[in-house]
Amino acid sequence: MDGVPLVVALVIALAGVAVAAYERRASLEARRASSALDRSAQDLREQVQALDEERRAMDAVLSSMEEGIVLVGPDGRVRLANAATGRHLGTVPALLAGVLPLGLQETVRRTAAERRGQAVEVETGAPSRWLRGATIPVGEDGSVLLVLRDVTASKRLEHIRRDFVANASHELKTPAASIRATAETIRTAAADDPSVIPRFAEQLDREAVRLSRIVSDLLDLSRLETGSDLDERVSLDAVLREEGERVEEEAAEAGVELSIRAGPAPRVRGSARDLSLLIRNLVDNAIRYTKPGGRVHVSIDAGDGEVVLTVTDTGVGIPTRDLPRIFERFYRVDRARSRETGGTGLGLSIVKHVVENHGGSVGVTSELGRGTTFLVRLPAEPRT
C-alpha cells in the first residue's frame, strides 16, 4: 500500500509536466499565430496604403488633364468624371442624359451599341466653343469612355489659314492681272500709238513694284511667325537714323514733313534686320496715310528698363471700330487709298510679330481726321 501514493504522486507529476509542455506549446502556437496575424495586418495596411497612393496618383493625373474624361456605365450612369469635364461641359453630369450637347450623347450610345470607337465635333457655350469628343468601348459590360478636348483654337487657326490663303491669292492675282493687261496694251500700242507706251510702262512698273512688295512682305511674315533670332545687341536709335535717311526722299515726294529724334537709348537684345522692318513699316505707313502738307514725327526714348519708339502722324486717322483689327493680315481701313499708295495690308501685322518676338508691346491711339500715334515698348538689355 505504501507504493500507491508514490504512483499517484508520479502520475500527478507526469500530468503536471504534460500540462506545462502543452501550455508551452500553446503559448508558442499563440505567439506564432499572433505574429502571423500581425504580419497579415501589416501586409493589409501596406496594400491599402499602396491602393490609396495609386488612387491619389490617378486623381492627380485626371485632375491635371486638359481633356475631359467621362466613363459611362451600361446603365447610363457616369462612373467617373474628372475636373476638366466640368470646364468643358459647364457641369459634371451624373447620367449620360445630362451630357450636352446631344451629339456627345448620341456618339456614346452608338459606341455602346456598335462596340467601336467614334468621334464627333460639337459647338457649345456662349461665347461659342468647339469640343471634339472621342469615344472608346471599355470592357465587356458595355461601358464607354468619352474623352473631350477643346479644339476652338485649332478651329480658329484653320479659319485664319483659309482666310490668309484666300486673301494672299487675291492680292497676288490683282497686280499680276494688271501687269498682264498692261503688257498686252503696250504690245498693241507699239504698232498703233507708240506715244502711250511711256504711260503704260510706268503703270507696268508700278504694278510690278506692288507685286514685289506683296511677295516680300509675305516672305517676311512667314519667317517672323517662326520667331526672330535674338542674338544681337541692337542700338535702336542707330537703326532709326538709318531708316530715316532711307524714307526722307519718299516723304519729300509725298509732300510730308518728316522729323526724327533718335536720342541715345539702351541697346535691345534682338534682330537688327527685324527691328529695321518694324521701324520701316511704321514710318512707311505713317507717310502713306498722311496727306501733303502733313507731318510725321518719329522718336526713340529711354524708359524704365525699356526703349520706347513713338511714330506720330497728322494723317487721316483710324475709325475707333477698326482699331482692334488693324494688326490683322490684309486688313485695311481704306482699301481704295491703300491700293492707290501701294500698301500690301501686311505691314502692321509684320510690326506686331516683330514686337512680340522681342518680348515687347505695341499700342495705337487715333482720332479720325487728326492723326494716329503708334507706341512700341521693347525691353532694354540690362546694363553690365
Residue 270 contacts residue 382 (beta carbons within 8 Å) = no
Chain centroid, CA 249 distance in Å: 41
pLDDT of residue 2: 54
Q: Any idea how long the chain is?
A: 384
pLDDT tens-digit profile, the chain (384 residues): 455 566 666 666 666 666 666 667 767 776 776 677 667 767 777 677 666 666 666 666 666 688 999 999 999 999 989 989 998 998 889 999 999 899 999 999 999 999 999 999 999 887 888 999 999 999 888 899 999 999 998 888 777 777 777 777 777 777 888 888 888 888 887 777 787 788 888 888 888 888 888 888 888 888 888 888 888 999 999 999 999 888 999 899 999 999 999 878 899 999 999 999 999 999 999 999 999 999 999 999 988 899 999 999 999 999 999 898 899 888 877 655 555 555 678 899 999 999 999 999 999 999 998 999 999 999 998 766
pLDDT of residue 51: 65
Could you tell me the three cell numbers for 368? Answer: 479720325
Using DSSP, state whether 311 is helix, strand or coil.
strand
Task: Give the residue from 181, 171, 223 showing the smallest Cα distance to 203.
Answer: 181
Helix and strand totals (H; E) in the chain: 9, 12
pLDDT of residue 363: 95
Task: Give the residue from 99, 124, 121, 122 showing the smallest Cα distance to 109.
Answer: 99
pLDDT of residue 335: 55
* CA-to-CA dists, residue 371 to 104, 268, 362, angstroms: 52, 28, 17
Cβ within 8 Å of residue 327, ≥6 positions away: 348, 349, 351, 352, 362
DSSP string, 132-198: EEEEEEETTTTEEEEEEEE-HHHHHHHHHHHHHHHHHHHHHHHHHHHHHHHHHHHHHHHHH-GGGHH
Q: Is the dihedral of CA 219, 223, 229, 235 positive or negative?
A: positive
Task: Give the residue from 256, 276, 242 showing the smallest Cα distance to 371.
Answer: 256
Could you tell me the three cell numbers for 321? Answer: 471700330
Residue 70 contacts residue 138 (beta carbons within 8 Å) = no
257-262 and 295-302 beta bridge pairing: parallel
pLDDT of residue 239: 94
Q: Is the dihedral of CA 228, 232, 237, 241 positive or negative?
A: negative
Identify the burial level of 9 via C-beta atoms within 10 angstroms of its C-beta, where 0-12 means exposed, 13-18 middle and 19 or more buried.
Answer: exposed
Cβ within 8 Å of residue 366, ≥6 positions away: 317, 318, 320, 323, 372, 373
Single-letter residue type at 335: R
68-72 and 78-81 beta bridge pairing: antiparallel
Interaxial angle between packed helices 272-288 and 236-254, expressed in degrees from 0 to 180 and rounded to the nearest 10: 30
Q: What are the backbone dihedrals phi and psi of residue 317, each rounded to the nearest 5 degrees, phi first?
A: 80, 170
Cα(165)–Cα(15) distance, integer angstroms: 106
Could you tell me the three cell numbers for 43? Answer: 501586409
